[in-house]
A and B are shown apart, each in its own frame.
Chain A
Amino acid sequence: ELKVEQNPLFLSMQEEKNYTIYCNYSTTSDRLYWYRQDPGKSLESLFVLLSNGAVKQEGRLMASLDTKARLSTLHITAAVHDLSATYFCAVDTLYYQLIWGAGTKLIIKP
């Protein structure tokens, strides 16, 4: 069974701290996506990772992909309140289907 597991599922942290969200998957893939969802809103694409070793950065967020370990990380540096949201990873299988993680709800306290 194809699985995408995110952890933690819930994360409450203080501003200015660093933390990492992990996305493990069980199928062979070299395409992975990170999305952000604010409460009551739709999903917004954050990062597209298309190969082993891919690293993308946008502001205080950095995503990486290790296809051999079947692992992607989303690293948050010096968190600020505006980053509070739910973050999803999605893996594109060889059969051209997106398999979604359950999401990580991130709350950043001032």
Chain B
Amino acid sequence: EAGVAQSPRYKIIEKRQSVAFWCNPISGHATLYWYQQILGQGPKLLIQFQNNGVVDDSQLPKDRFSAERLKGVDSTLKIQPAKLEDSAVYLCASSPGDRTSLLTEAFFGQGTRLTVV
């Protein structure tokens, strides 16, 4: 089966510009995650969707970051305006299950490497 697709793979922008990332999860997966991973650190959850509803966005900097999941399938993550500290890899992941399922293994896309200069 096809994996999690993300685009673009790389992006360089100047601070105060805006940027958007796109994710297409594995078909049929109910849960979608966006993570931020700074070099040398573990992944930090930004937002978790269950179908098209938000489960957790407690660590999403809502003054500059926004995310949506279209019709419970594709998702976009936007940063506006970007700061230097937003330089990181943005990982999208999906998992099959919902709250009652044991199928919670997350499958990751290749990520988007963002550099803010």
Contact = CB atoms under 8 A, between A and B. Distances in A.
A50 B43 contact: no
B77 interface: no
Contact of B104 (A31, A35, A101): A31
A88 interface: yes
- Chain A interface secondary structure, helix, strand, loop or mixed? strand
A36 to B, nearest CB: 11
Contacts of A92: 104
Nearest to A100: B42
Given A42-B91, A97-B56, A48 B41 contact: no
Interface residues of B, number: 22
A13 interface: no
Contact of A98 (B41, B106, B111): B106
Given A92-B104, A96-B99, A98-B106, A43 B45 contact: no
Given A31-B102, A42-B111, A43-B108, A98 B45 contact: yes
B42 A102 contact: yes
B109 A48 contact: no
Given A43-B108, A98-B104, 20 more contacts: A31-B104, A33-B106, A41-B110, A42-B91, A42-B108, A42-B111, A43-B43, A43-B91, A43-B93, A44-B108, A45-B106, A88-B42, A96-B98, A96-B99, A97-B48, A97-B56, A100-B42, A100-B44, A102-B42, A103-B41
14 contacts: A42-B91, A42-B108, A42-B109, A42-B110, A43-B91, A43-B108, A45-B105, A45-B107, A96-B98, A96-B99, A96-B104, A98-B45, A100-B44, A100-B45
